[in-house]
Structure 1
């Protein structure tokens, strides 16, 4: 059962009588979230590593390029001050929060952050903030409040059980005062900086009752987009619009290593579509900050097939994610606890990812969640090649991808006859083999043959 404070209930009543102007305008043009996010692409911003300066202002200079890339949601990794007690490395983990309502001075000031958000909004980009609700730094002020954190038998504040996160203190969600303070901290950034939502770190470690209660309170302020770093259907009961496609990502890595084949991806997606509610948006990716730093770059994990797997992540289902530097061919594991600036060079894959985003936005068959078409898989006679079509209201996309580093024979359906959107090649049943990591994508809009 949801727990709603008297204050929250009163605010909900007030909000229903006097809707903010920005929400009135949004209601006129969309149905709010998740519908508003139906054709969006998300981009993860690592402020520390994005530029030599590692500041909001320096990152803001990249906004025109990101606008050209076509991304819609900027997920900003945690920006709060980082704990010093039990710190890992020289600069510490972004996810060790010392003060929920302050800005890490290494990144700039609160005004700098607010200006960055304003500039993003001018370019019709949403800004969501990474939120660490499960734990704080060991020198967060809440560690001095009895009952706010979990403790061992001797009364010492502990790190999260079953992890090696020795730099963070595990919060106690049995304490309602702590929950109330956490909700107020979430409301702070919406009111103060006008952010548009949250990406919630290890969301499954935190009780769903809290998330649902927090969402009820946040709805008073603004219609927010909520992303859970978790891969369970329960996250979509109320609080979250999008969840991580961790399972599909791990399968992709295993296919790339030759441990699974493309048929396993088909089976996984079919089961995933059955497990999750129709309005759930699933986030798919070939990399993110965790994968890059701890498991390797896309070149380490996918080799020469990194583009083929990106095409799959963009077209199979759900909302695709691009991580900082991915469009520049980031080929190093960025240090997690130190300064390690991304080398941008000529941003050599900018056009590739821009073309994928353009394809997604211009064909409703590729829209996110229930707003796009579900993949209908096609048997082309080879377990290392995946092929599928997606259709929505007369719009159609056909995709065939060789997910291996070998030439593969294929039997393309007689009904397939399209021009590849990337290279213009004509794709039909006359094609009987695909080169290593070769892919073709056909796109047809309603009313156009």
Structure 2
């Protein structure tokens, strides 16, 4: 398979609201990103993914779009965007936008028109259904954010579908006019020079025929079996690729919600001509049993190995995936999978070593390059995430948990953890803004910040820089034949990768104590490509790994 620029590249996700505030109004903006482009260049990243920057009432922080071809005023102007695109390209970095095509805002002109009359030309842009015989919703579907997925419209006496908030009505992709509206919006940005799209919840755009009730199973299973992978989803994606993406030097990255490894190839195999790559949720949700807040299972390294293996096997040599352990929808990577206290630096470095040596495109999230951690919000009034707020409100009615425990659950898994402002220095609000930010800054910015780590050669930040630079020089990091070693070891993750004449061995200690490993090779004089400690204790073929140590050896 050809190693195209987007397959080989490293994607850096920016959540603009929390990245950098250039005008001190408490909200990040496009000019704030422009100010930090040289910093981003220094990371050796190749592609910037911007979470939504389009006009929006911000019910779900920009994922409720009211105009697909204009900029949210809080973020700046179209002129600011054009400058951002120019300056990004000038530095040899590509830029992709977040395409939110499953739903729009209820303040979009399409929906405002649709509500006026059942005969309005825009009525069929959305999913409308009559009430059930008891006057309730048409079926038992639940929203991703809690409550029914149907909202009653008093004026027309019908319900409309919203798989997310009630202010995010789902678009009816069966209507060809809807599809053309989305394609036109895509062309608008691609004609400006944008390099592609990350496609939000794209597997949900085709709804099951007849809107049947969901079975009484866990919500994750309902997403996979009912909400995602509808009967015409591949028809729509082929059409999108044929009419739009294939006409440009651009690529499509799908948020693979509801896609499992057995059907991944239907979306990303090259011969399908649908999507270029997807990132799945199995790693991100590997400690979540059923629902983000309530049921959590302990981290299991062997389970994680199995997840990486099954996805690698599913698309090897036929399709492509992106690998992510953090984004704007999940708690911080080092807090979930590492040790954000005693071994904060070591575990953050080890985790990115693992992620950067998996087959596929590397996807990192803003702030992870300095090891930003979960935040502890002290009161529900400090919470901004609508998913967390809805959970808290529902719990006040059900009283399943105490209010203290509900807030503790939000602090453990809530999306605000990933959305606290980027910590640039130890000044007020971490240097993000002189004004109080839209979301409370994590108080540990005093110690964990870009400025401090930039000056420290052993910092997480400088480790990222070195690792991503090394990754660019060795294609075997990106793909190759994989050989698992000591697969059932619960503390060590070890594997060899071979591409042409190049072979590397990756040894990762997920334990907070030392671990002994016999490599089976004479390691005398071996070249160490990556090491998150200053030294590696080697005795012939054996090595002693320190807590959370991660190394990559060049087996020439």
Which whole-Å CA distance do the structure 1 matches of 2:284 and 2:107 have between them?
35
Q: Is the alpha carbon distance of 1:196 and 1:427 closer, same or farther for their aligned partners in structure 2, counting shifts above 3 Å?
A: farther
Q: CA deviation at 1:221?
A: 4.0
Residue number in structure 2 paired with 1:306: 348
Among 317, 341, 353, the residue aligned to 1:278: 317
- 1:334-377 CA-partner distances (Å, limit 9, x unpaired): 9547995322224233211112211211112112xxxx213211
Residues 286 and 298 of structure 1 are in contact (CA less than 8 Å); yes or no, is this contact kept in structure 2? no
Among 44, 55, 59, the residue aligned to 2:29: 55
User: What is the RMSD computed on CA atoms of the aligned residues?
Assistant: 2.7
Q: How does 1:126-141 map to 2 (within 5 A)?
A: 126-141=94-109
Which whole-Å CA distance do the structure 2 matches of 1:428 and 1:82 have between them?
60
**Scaled by the length of structure 1, what TM-score is found?**
0.80
Is 2:255 aligned against 1:229?
yes
Q: CA deviation at 1:416?
A: 5.0
Q: Which has the higher contact order (CA 8 A, sep 6+)?
A: 1
Q: Which moved more, 1:403-412 or 1:387-396?
A: 403-412
Residue number in structure 1 paired with 2:119: none
Q: Is the alpha carbon distance of 1:34 and 1:396 closer, same or farther for their aligned partners in structure 2, counting shifts above 3 Å?
A: closer
Q: Is the alpha carbon distance of 1:38 and 1:220 closer, same or farther for their aligned partners in structure 2, counting shifts above 3 Å?
A: closer
Q: CA deviation at 1:52?
A: 2.5
Q: Secondary structure at the match of 1:173?
A: coil
Among 401, 404, 424, the residue aligned to 2:508: 401
Residues 252 and 265 of structure 1 are in contact (CA less than 8 Å); yes or no, is this contact kept in structure 2? no
- 1:254-290 CA-partner distances (Å, limit 9, x unpaired): 9xx9835433333333322332252422221221111
Q: Is the alpha carbon distance of 1:58 and 1:268 closer, same or farther for their aligned partners in structure 2, counting shifts above 3 Å?
A: closer
Residues 43 and 323 of structure 1 are in contact (CA less than 8 Å); yes or no, is this contact kept in structure 2? yes
Residues 96 and 196 of structure 2 are in contact (CA less than 8 Å); yes or no, is this contact kept in structure 1? yes
Residue number in structure 1 paired with 2:217: none
Residues 253 and 301 of structure 1 are in contact (CA less than 8 Å); yes or no, is this contact kept in structure 2? no
Residues 399 and 441 of structure 1 are in contact (CA less than 8 Å); yes or no, is this contact kept in structure 2? yes
Among 71, 91, 94, the residue aligned to 2:62: 94
Residues 382 and 409 of structure 1 are in contact (CA less than 8 Å); yes or no, is this contact kept in structure 2? no
- Identify unmatched segments of 5+ residues in structure 2: 23-27, 114-121, 132-155, 206-232, 290-295, 376-382, 387-415, 426-448, 454-459
Which whole-Å CA distance do the structure 2 matches of 1:127 and 1:153 have between them?
43
**Scaled by the length of structure 2, what TM-score is found?**
0.66
- Identify unmatched segments of 5+ residues in structure 1: 1-30
Is 2:484 aligned against 1:377?
yes
Count, aligned residues: 396
Q: Is the alpha carbon distance of 1:416 and 1:281 closer, same or farther for their aligned partners in structure 2, counting shifts above 3 Å?
A: farther
Is 2:368 aligned against 1:326?
yes
- 1:136-156 CA-partner distances (Å, limit 9, x unpaired): 001111112110011231554
Q: How does 1:234-383 map to 2 (within 5 A)?
A: 234-236=266-268, 237-251=272-286, 259=298, 261-276=300-315, 278-292=317-331, 296=332, 298-303=334-339, 304=343, 305-333=347-375, 335-336=384-385, 340-345=420-425, 346-347=449-450, 348=453, 349-367=460-478, 372-379=479-486, 382-383=489-490
Residue number in structure 1 paired with 2:199: 200
Residue number in structure 1 paired with 2:110: 142
Q: Is the alpha carbon distance of 1:113 and 1:97 closer, same or farther for their aligned partners in structure 2, counting shifts above 3 Å?
A: same
Q: Secondary structure at the match of 1:170?
A: coil
Q: Is the alpha carbon distance of 1:148 and 1:258 closer, same or farther for their aligned partners in structure 2, counting shifts above 3 Å?
A: closer
Q: Which moved more, 1:338-347 or 1:97-106?
A: 338-347
Residue number in structure 2 paired with 1:179: 179
Is 2:85 aligned against 1:117?
yes
Q: Is the alpha carbon distance of 1:57 and 1:140 closer, same or farther for their aligned partners in structure 2, counting shifts above 3 Å?
A: same
